[in-house]
Structure formats: structure tokens, C-alpha cells
Structure 1
Amino acid sequence: MPPTPDRAPMLSRRRLLAAAALSAVAPAVAAASPATAAPAHGAGRLVDKGLSQPVDRAFGYLDTVMDAYAGGATPRLLQSYNNESGLMTTAFVYDNALAVIAYLSRPTAANVARAKVIGDTFLWIQGNDEAYTDGRIRQAYAAGPMLFYGWWPYFPGLVREDGRAAFLWPYGFSGSAVGDVAWVALSLTHLYAHTRERRYLDGAVAMGEWITATSTSPYAYGGYLGGLQADGVTPQRWCSTEHNIDVYALFTLLARYTKDRRWTGRAKVAGDFVRAMYHKRGGYYWTGTLGANPADDPNLINTAILPEDVNTWAYLSLKEKPGAIDWTARNLAVTDTPSAPNSQLPPGVTVSGVTFSDMSKTLTGPVPNGTGDNNPSAVWLEGNGHLAAALVARDGHGDRKRAVEYLRQVVVAQRALGGGQTVGLTSDPEGGRLSDPGGGGTWTGQPLPAGGGVVSASSAFDTGFGFGYFQRQHVGATSWFLIAATGTNPYRI
């Protein structure tokens, strides 16, 4: 069902516009070839030694995706989903920021080198926008060659034929969300902390300046607005709790590394907004404020839906209100079984964890941009990573044991789901480009390593924000698994 006006305000987040392209879902391809040994990534600290092999396989997946179109020091981003997702070579900057932090969570020489390639690519993008030199970065770019529906436009890859960065305006990924920009800047700050190479800190500072210049809220609750819409000019009128969680962490780190006290005051603006979104009686955080629709009052809190991420990320960032973690574990708990309504799990597989929002557990009807109805028991695997990371960071009695169990559930999905999916160049004679099979093209590339990547969802489900998640291998979900499994807090260094 379409989002109602009071549910729409928080839609313009890093994941929203991905849904628009997911309507073109490819038929299942042949099963992947048998898994080969994952490349060695060296010893790293893990929250549980039993996660060692799954973690190695997950790093192997990131390596495969990163090298799908180029290798070595060539500037490039990781394609967020498998080829058959309908998003072709789309590389969301949020997912790639997570990949940087995941690689640095096990900082071998090879992993740091890979993180630097992604970070240098962010800096190149920042300096090679079609129209702006103000520090911004767009929502998503082309990771490899892709030809759009209707046979136009064609992107040869990250670098357009005119030498500019190939942001994906045909999908609507032209805007700059505050949360996306903050995550990229966080990843650059992590790189600076590991390498002490000033260019990474300078890039993060430029992104922070862009956030304050374009998105400081004039409304009742303050904070930072959602960013700029797809035209690159029009500000969003709503504020996201999630975005302000991200900004608080970023600005706190910028204050630490630049020694510029202005960032402390700017961080307080974001932190005060997050604190104002806490519902003391309920023990959870609201999603943010209204403002997406013309009739909305941006001075009011959006109380229509309760998402998972703000209730785990708030603790990771601010280290406050630890009870919101337990609210998440209680109220968003789900278990997907083959007998659950609309489950896509194979026989004998059960996955437990958390879902995206309270509405995900109650909605009926078609999954937006999908082909079936909502499974209210579906697990959002990225959410398992969030919750596990928050539990490890809180480190109370039994927290680590609980975190490991959430990660073990991710491993169940890693082993059982996502087989037969591909990435990289296709058989298309025009440089292996991806294009719509309905128009005579192909999505099939090289098989992804079996048991490596983590799918977004155990079964297709409705987030309650007007888009769905699907059984597609995902850089973001895989990176959060690695972040949590290594006991990393992405908001702290």
C-alpha cells in the first residue's frame, strides 16, 4: 500500500530510492559454483572465535564485489547489490562507507589498502561533481557499465564519458542526504585515524561544512534537516533522528581531530535533537519530525512508525539511553520459518532476529516494488548487525552472549540464502555492460562466492516506509556483520 502522508516524511533516507528500481526482479539464475577458499585476511579480534570462518567468507565477498570491474589502485566503489537486484551496478555511498569501516575493523595491509581505494574514490567524486564543489556527495554512483531501461542513458562506469562522476540521476539518486554524507565523512575520519593522511580529514571536514551550511534546521526541534532533494537545491523540511545520530558522532570526531571547538557546538545541535526524540515513557526514540509533504508541520514529531536503527545507533553514538536497545530486542523481534506467511526460506532453515520497524510486523499486502505479499516474520539482517554491535558496545551482563547469538543467526542466512546470484561484467558485447533482459540485455555476471555475502532480508518484507527489502546479497548487510563481529563501534575511534 502507498505511504500515507503521516508516514511519508522520513522516506528520503539512504535506502528509500533504492526501492524504485527493485520492481525489475530477474528470474533466479543457476546455482553458484562451489565455494572456493576465502582469501586470508589475517588474525583480527572477534567477539566469538566461532565466527572466524564466516567473517573470512564475508571479507571474501567484499573483495569479490570490489574487484568486479577493476582491481589494484583503480578508483572504484562496490556495487551495493547483486546484478539481478534490478539496480544493476548501483553503488550507494552509505554501503561503501560501511565497507571502509569494515575493512578497517581488521586492519591488515591488504584491508587498509582497499579502504584507502574507496576513500580516495570518495575524494575524487567530491572533486568531480557535475555541478558542485561545495563538499557534497550524491546518494549513489555507477560501479560498472550499465545501460538503462529504454536503452538510454549509458554509463561506462564510475567515470562518465565527460570525465565527471557518474551519479545515478535516472534512478533519482541525485540528492544528498545528510545521513549519507555523514557516513561517508565518518569513513574518511576512520581512514585519517588509521593513516594520518590529511586528505581524508580534509574531505570529512568539507562534508561537515556542507551539512551545516545547507541543512541546519530552523524549526522547533533544531537539529539538521534531511539534506537536499534530487534537484540538488531544494532543502528537505524534515529531520531524521538517524541522520542526527550520524552527525553527532561525525562532528564529535571532527572536534577531536581538528581541535576546532566549533565542531563541539555543532555536535550539540545534533545531540540535542536526538535527545528530544526520546520517548521516556515508551523507552524508545521517535523516527524524527514531519515535513516531507506540503501539508506537514515540520515543528511536529512523526509518531507514526518506530524503526530499529535509531534505537540501536543512538546508544552507539551518544552512549545514552541503553534501554532503547532492549526495547528493540523485545518489540521488533521476529523469527522467519518456512511455514511463516509468505516466507521464502528453504525447508529446514529458520532465521531469528529483528525487523525494520513496528509496522513491518503488522502490514499486509504487496511488498512495495516486489512481487509478493509482506512476510511479517522476515528478519532484516542488517538490523541484526546493528543490535549486535550495540550490545557489544554496552557490554552489560549477558550482552556479548546475546550479540553473538544475533550474529550466528546472520551466519545461518549467510550459508543458506543468496545462492546463484552474480556480480560484475556480463556477456554483453559492449564492454560487459548490464542492461534489462526484457530489452535484450543481461544481468548475469560472475557467480558470487557461496556462503559469503549476507542478504538484506530472510524473506521479502515491507519496511513501513514505502519500500521493501529482499533476499539479495548486500554490501551494507555484510559490512554490518563484519563491524559487529569484530566488536567495532563505527561511531567511535
Structure 2
Amino acid sequence: MSEDALAPHRRTLLVGASSAFTAFLTGAMLPSPAWAAAPAWMRGASGTAVRKAFDFLAARFDEYGSGAALRVPRSYTGGFFGTTFVSSFVYDDALVILAWLARATAEDVERATVLGDTLLYAQRHDPIGDGRTRASYQPDSFTTLDGTLDIGSPAAYTGNQAWAGIALAHLYARTGQPRFLTGALREATWIQEHTWDGARAPYGYTGGRGATGQPLTFKATEHNIDVGAFFTMLARLTGDHGWRARAGAAFAFVAAMRDRADGHLWTGTDPDGVTTNRAPIPEDVQTWAYLATLDDRYRRSVTWVLDRLAARDAGVAGVSFSDADVSKVWLEGTAHTALALRARAAKGDTLLARRLLWNIQQAQATTPAGDGRGIPAASSDGLDTGFGDLYYASPHTGTTAWFLLAALDSNPFRI
């Protein structure tokens, strides 16, 4: 794209992205002096912001160990969570691995390998020992003196299993170390044996196991996107077409959740596994469906996010978590959207992605609870997801990793 095509006076001609959202970003997101003094928005995230974000991940990883010591990073730092909440969520850990592999310096790969080996240790030493990993671990006491895992949340959600597997699959693709593929296959086998539902249409993968081991019988669109992407990777890495067929089944569920009227995706099903769950409607499934498949059917779901989830708060603009609350910006989802726009590459998408990344960079620099390096989960405290959770303006490893993936144009759903 030419420099002329990126010039600000051309913004009214952007037709690939939502014109309303483009106007929202360019018009009211910042006071005019800041906008005029900040031509960096045209380049998206600066190299300094990217470096600082990687520094944040390194600091979190080295908080409770160093070198080759097995360890997991604390997910949230400061603000609402203070210093007492020290859980490390496996979803976040997987994203940290993927961010390091996206930049892939020798030190990055070394750190990613240690964190991958930590996930393998957790898998091998799980008290049930059937290939699962848990929702979270405690980084300040990851193992006790007798080697027992310090598990934070014992739930085994399907999406988390898939994300751990995706990270291990990327590690195998990068390093060629067979242990990572073995661990990924154990995760995949657990998903297939414990969550596949071929009895209740629309067929797909259920939610996994709760904290007390109870089956979670709903089917989540998000989980099935994760599983479809993960199993597609395994098919490519192993040559086993069975994984490709299973990936196709997961993606068929995703397609069944698509609303043909405006192209968005529903959340999934109720616990009966059949009835469509229509409220709230989250951001992640809209952009992830496109990133995981690059299927033209989901181009409209990306635009739906721009049209329906635009949010502005605390001096930054982006998108929110779901249509339940658009009063605050969900920075992770804003990174999802930026990366999806870069992948979609319709007219205006690249420029809009850069603007979103610039906004995330602003949040990195200005969040009161931050250190100028990590990206906060939300623009300010109390973002209501609509699913019974709140997000806070605390720097977050997962959000920081997604910012880096978007800034480096690295799609974690594909190898």
C-alpha cells in the first residue's frame, strides 16, 4: 500500500473496515493536540513499546526463578490484584510462549522452551495423570518439596487444553524436540476422549471438566475454534489425517453458530448441548474464527466487532469484551481485532489495525497501575464480560502477549 493511501485525508474512503468505527477512532479517541503530535499512530506499535512489552514478560517469568529452572509467570500484576493474587493461568502461559516464538531471538526460544517444559512437567505430574493440564498453577510455589504440583484452579477447560497444545505444537515446529509433540498429542487425546459430543447436534466439543471434575456439557464456539486450530496443526505435524477430520468437526460446529443475517457468531450452546446461547455475544469468537480458518465467511464477523463493540475509555479506544458492556476497552480483544484486520487486509484494514495497536501502546504507557511495560487487561477497572467476570486495569501477561502477536503480525492459530 502506498504512503498516499495511508494519509489521514483518505480515511473517509476506507471501505474494508467499518466506516463508523474508523470515524470513531480518528475523531474522538484523543484530544487533537495529542493526535497532531503523534504521527506514530500511522506505524502502529513502536519498537520501543514492543521491547518494553517483551521486558515485562521476561520480568514476570523470572520473578520466581531464572535460567533453566521450571517456573510459570504470574498472570496479573498490581492494581486491583495487588501483590497477593499470584495465579498463573495456562492460557496466558501458552500465549507467552507464542509471543516469544514470534520474535524468536535465541533468548526468546530458550525462555519459550523452559516454559514449555514447565507445562510438560505439570502434565506428567498431574495427580490424575491422564494428559490434562489445569486452568492455573501457583508460580510462587509451583512445586513443593515432595514434587507435588501447586494447582491454583483444578478445572480442565477444553479451550485451555487446546491452547497449551497449540503452544507445544509451535515449540515442536520451532525446535524439532519430540517431547513437545508428545505432550501436544496427549492434550489432544484428552480433548477427544473427554469432550467430543457426537450425540447432540450441533456436534462438537464440550467445555471440559470443572473444578470438582464434573463434565461441562455446554459447547463453546471459542473452544471449538481452539480445538479446530490445534487439531489442524497436529494433522500437519504428524501426517495423521484423523486429526484433520476431527478439526473439520470442530470447525463445523463453529459454522453452525454463524448468524447468517449479519455474520456474527453466537457464544455456543446451553448445557443441554443443543440450544443456542444468544447472550451475551463476545468479541473473541468473531476474530478468532477468521484467524483460525481465514475463511471468507468470517470476514463479516470481524466487521461486526467494529460495528457493535467499539469502546472508548481512559484516553484509549478499541473494542470491548462483549455486547454486555461497551463502557471500557478490553485491550486483549483490541489486539485480537488488530491482528484479524491485518490478516483480512481489506481496504483500510491495515491502517485501522495500526490505529488499534497505537491505542494499546497508549494504554501501556498511561495505565495508573502499570510499569510502562505490561499491557493492562482493561482500560479501567470493572469491565463486565457478561459471563459473570470483571476485568481490571492490571498489567496482564496474556494481554501483553496478544499485543506482541498483533504487533509482529504473528497468527498463533496457524503454523
TM-score class, shorter-chain normalisation, is 0.7 to 0.9
User: TM-score, normalised on structure 1?
Assistant: 0.73
Correspondence for 2:322: 357
Question: SS at the partner of 1:224?
Answer: strand
Residue 395 (str. 1) matches residue 345 (str. 2)? yes
Contact 1:418/1:473 (<8 A) preserved:
no
What are the Cα deviations for residues 98-154 of structure 1, in whole angstroms up to 9, with x where unaligned?
A: 000000110000000000011000000000112x2211000000111xxxxxxxxxx
Contact 1:83/1:89 (<8 A) preserved:
no
What are the Cα deviations for residues 250-291 of structure 1, in whole angstroms up to 9, with x where unaligned?
A: 000100101111101111110110000000102100000001
Correspondence for 2:71: 76
What are the Cα deviations for residues 205-263 of structure 1, in whole angstroms up to 9, with x where unaligned?
A: 1100000000011321111000011123x211100000000000000010010111110
Change over 3 Å in CA distance of 1:413–1:50 after alignment to 2: closer
Correspondence for 1:147: none
- 1-structure distance, mates of 2:291, 2:70: 31
Alignment of 1:451-466 (within 5 A): 451-460=372-381, 461-466=383-388
User: Unpaired segments of 5 or more residues in structure 1?
Assistant: 1-46, 145-156, 292-296, 337-344, 362-375, 422-449
Correspondence for 1:102: 99
- 2-structure distance, mates of 1:457, 1:133: 36
Correspondence for 2:85: 88
Which letter maps to 2:188? Answer: G
Residue 386 (str. 1) matches residue 361 (str. 2)? no
Alignment of 1:62-461 (within 5 A): 62-82=57-77, 85=81, 88-130=85-127, 132-144=128-140, 157-168=141-152, 173-217=153-197, 218-232=199-213, 234-291=214-271, 297-320=272-295, 321-336=298-313, 345=314, 350-361=315-326, 376=327, 378-419=328-369, 450-460=371-381, 461=383
Change over 3 Å in CA distance of 1:415–1:83 after alignment to 2: closer
Change over 3 Å in CA distance of 1:142–1:268 after alignment to 2: same
Change over 3 Å in CA distance of 1:399–1:134 after alignment to 2: same
Question: SS at the partner of 1:161?
Answer: coil
Which of 482, 486, 490 in structure 1 is aligned with 2:404? 482
Which letter maps to 1:300? Answer: T
Following TM superposition, by how much is the alpha carbon of 1:398 offset from its aligned partner in structure 2, in angstroms? 1.8
Residue 60 (str. 1) matches residue 60 (str. 2)? no
What are the Cα deviations for residues 30-57 of structure 1, in whole angstroms up to 9, with x where unaligned?
A: xxxxxxxxxxxxxxxxx94752110000
Following TM superposition, by how much is the alpha carbon of 1:298 offset from its aligned partner in structure 2, in angstroms? 2.5
Question: SS at the partner of 2:222?
Answer: helix
Contact 1:418/1:454 (<8 A) preserved:
no
- 1-structure distance, mates of 2:160, 2:389: 18
User: Unpaired segments of 5 or more residues in structure 2?
Assistant: 1-41
Q: CA RMSD in A?
A: 1.3
Which letter maps to 1:409? Answer: N
Contact 2:159/2:226 (<8 A) preserved:
yes
Which letter maps to 1:57? Answer: K
What are the Cα deviations for residues 269-318 of structure 1, in whole angstroms up to 9, with x where unaligned?
A: 10110000000102100000001xxxxx3311001211000000000001
Which letter maps to 1:389? Answer: L
Change over 3 Å in CA distance of 1:261–1:60 after alignment to 2: same
- 2-structure distance, mates of 1:452, 1:398: 29
Question: SS at the partner of 1:280?
Answer: coil
Following TM superposition, by how much is the alpha carbon of 1:83 offset from its aligned partner in structure 2, in angstroms? 5.1
Higher helix share: 2
